[in-house]
Amino acid sequence: MKAWATLFIAIVCCVTAVAQNTPQPPDRARLNYHLQPRQIAADTWVIEGAVADFLPANGCNIINTTFIATGDGVVVINTGPSRLYGEQQRRAIAAVTPQPVRAVLNLNLHPDYFFGNQAWADVPTQALAGSIAGMRAEGAGYADNLYRLCGDWMKGTEPTPARETLEPKAFTLGTHRLELRRLQGHTRDDLVLLDTTTGVLFAGGLVFADRVPTTPHAEPAQWLQSLATLDQWRQQGQFKLLVPSHGPVDRGVQGIAQTRDWLQWLTRLLQDSAEQGVDLSELLRTAVPSRFAGWAAQPAELHRSLVQWYPTYERRALGRPAQ
C-alpha cells in the first residue's frame, strides 16, 4: 500500500506541474489574455500567442512577445495587439523579475508588434525608422480592422507608434551582449535582435513556423534573401534558438525552411498562373500542397496574398509596367 501511495502522490505532482505549465486560453468574458511567460534560455522568457488568425476567441493575440532580464534592466520585444495586452504584459513581466524595463523594441510596423505600446508610455519604445513611418501612416487603418475583428479586446486601444528611432548596432546591457540587425522582405524594415550571450535570435516576422506567412508589406525576392542570410547565420553557429513572432518557438529554426518553401511555391504559382492566363477567381480555388495544408491561417492568408499580388504578376505577363 505504501508503494501505491507514493506512486499516486508522484502522479498527482506530475499532473499538477504539467497543468501549471500549460498556457490557459484567453478568457473572453473577463478580457483576460492569461499571459504566462515561459523561460526559454538564461534570463529569457517568451509569452506565446495563438498559432492562428486574428479571432475574437484569441483576443487577436497571435504573436510571441519576449523579454530579456539582463541584470541591468529588461528589454521587451513586441507589445501585442492591444492596450489591454500591453497592460497585462507589464504585470506578467513584473511577476517574473523586479528589474526595471529599460527599452521596448517593436520589430516591425504590423499592429500586433506595437499596439500594446500605450501601456509602456513611461519607457522608451523603439523601432527602425521605416517601421515608425509605417506605424504612423497605417495605424488608424489597423485599428479599424482590429476593432472590427476583435471588438471588446480592443477597448481603449489607440495606435501608438514607437517614439525613438533605432539604428543597427551592438551593445552590452547587464550581462548580455545584444546586436540589432536590419533585414527586409517581410516589410521594408525588419529588425532582428541577436543575443550573443544566450544564442537566441528574435527573428520577428521574417520567420513563420507552422503558419502561413502574412504578406501585406512583403517583397518576396528580398524576403528570400533575408531567409538565406538567417540560414547562413545558423550554419555559422551564430544562434542556437530562433524565436519567430508567429508559431511555436520550438519550431523556430525549422521555420526558416518552411517560410522559404512557402514563398517559393507561392511565387511560382503566381507566375505560372499569370503566364497561362488563369483568372483570379479560378486561382482562389487552388488547393495547397499537402505539406502546407495543416498550417494555421489556411486558406485565409493564401487568399489575401493571391488577391494582393496577382495583379502585379498579370501585368508582368502582359508586358505592362507595374503601377
Q: Are 178 and 195 in contact (CB under 8 A)?
A: yes
pLDDT of residue 28: 86
Q: How confident is the model at residue 66 (pLDDT cuts 50, 70, 90)?
A: very high
Amino acid making up residue 111? P
- What does the alpha-carbon distance between residue 147 and residue 23 come to, in Å, rounded to a whole number? 25
Q: Which among 168, 149, 158, 246 has a CA at the least distance from the CA of 207?
A: 246
Q: Average pLDDT of 294-318?
A: 96
Q: Average pLDDT of 162-175?
A: 98
Q: How confident is the model at residue 6 (pLDDT cuts 50, 70, 90)?
A: very low
pLDDT of residue 322: 55
Give residue for cell 480592443.
Answer: 154
Q: Are 114 and 103 in contact (CB under 8 A)?
A: no
Q: How confident is the model at residue 5 (pLDDT cuts 50, 70, 90)?
A: very low
Domains delineated in the chain: 23-250 (3.60.15.10)
Grid coordinates representing 73 are 534592466
pLDDT of residue 321: 60
Edge-to-edge strands, sheet with 164-166: 38-41, 44-47, 65-69, 74-77, 101-105, 125-128, 164-166
pLDDT of residue 165: 98
Q: Average pLDDT of 140-161?
A: 97
> What is the overall mean pLDDT for the chain?
93
Give residues with Cβ within 8 angstroms of 176, minimum separation 6.
Answer: 43, 68, 70, 71, 195, 197, 198
- Would you say residue 20 has pLDDT above 50? no
pLDDT of residue 319: 85
pLDDT of residue 320: 66
What predicted TM-score, i.e. pTM, was given to this entire model?
A: 0.91
- What does the alpha-carbon distance between residue 206 and residue 183 come to, in Å, rounded to a whole number? 9
The 10s digit of each residue's pLDDT in 191-212 is 999 999 999 999 999 999 999 9
Q: Are strands 169-173 and 101-105 parallel, antiparallel or unpaired?
A: unpaired
Q: Average pLDDT of 198-227?
A: 98
Q: In angstroms, what is the C-alpha Rg of the chain? A: 21
pLDDT of residue 2: 40
Dihedral-angle region of residue 65 (phi above 0 means left; psi in -120 to 50 means alpha; beta otherwise):
beta
- What does the alpha-carbon distance between residue 164 and residue 294 come to, in Å, rounded to a whole number? 39
Q: How confident is the model at residue 135 (pLDDT cuts 50, 70, 90)?
A: very high
Q: Average pLDDT of 265-287?
A: 97
Q: What percent of the chain has pLDDT over 70?
A: 92
